[in-house]
Amino acid sequence: MKFINLFKRKKSCQVAKDRLKILLISDRINCSPEMMELIKTDIAKVISKYMKIDTENMDIQINAKGSRGSREGKTPTLYANIPIIDLHKM
């Protein structure tokens, strides 16, 4: 069984890197995951007025551009990826 697990298991180093990347984005921009969730629901509410969107699969994130993000004077950007189910809801 251990032999099979060896192939299945995601290397813990990769897990650590993935966790850190998400952690540091919110640390650096000083924006908590809860706040991101609030922003997400608000955006969904507004867009839903005009078209039918897939709220389950929408994704928003703040990308700090540049190696050290906003500290180097580059502006962080909010990316929203919202799948549209029906463009003409009305």
Closest CA to 63 of 34, 90, 36, 86: 36
Shortest distance, CB of residue 2 to another protein, whole angstroms?
A: 7
Residues 23-62 within binding reach of another protein (CB under 8 A): 23-24, 27-28
> Rule CB under 8 A: is residue 74 a binding residue for another protein?
no
Closest CA to 60 of 89, 29, 28, 33: 33
**Residue numbers at the binding site for another protein (CB under 8 A):** 2-3, 6, 11-14, 16-17, 19-21, 23-24, 27-28, 67-68, 71
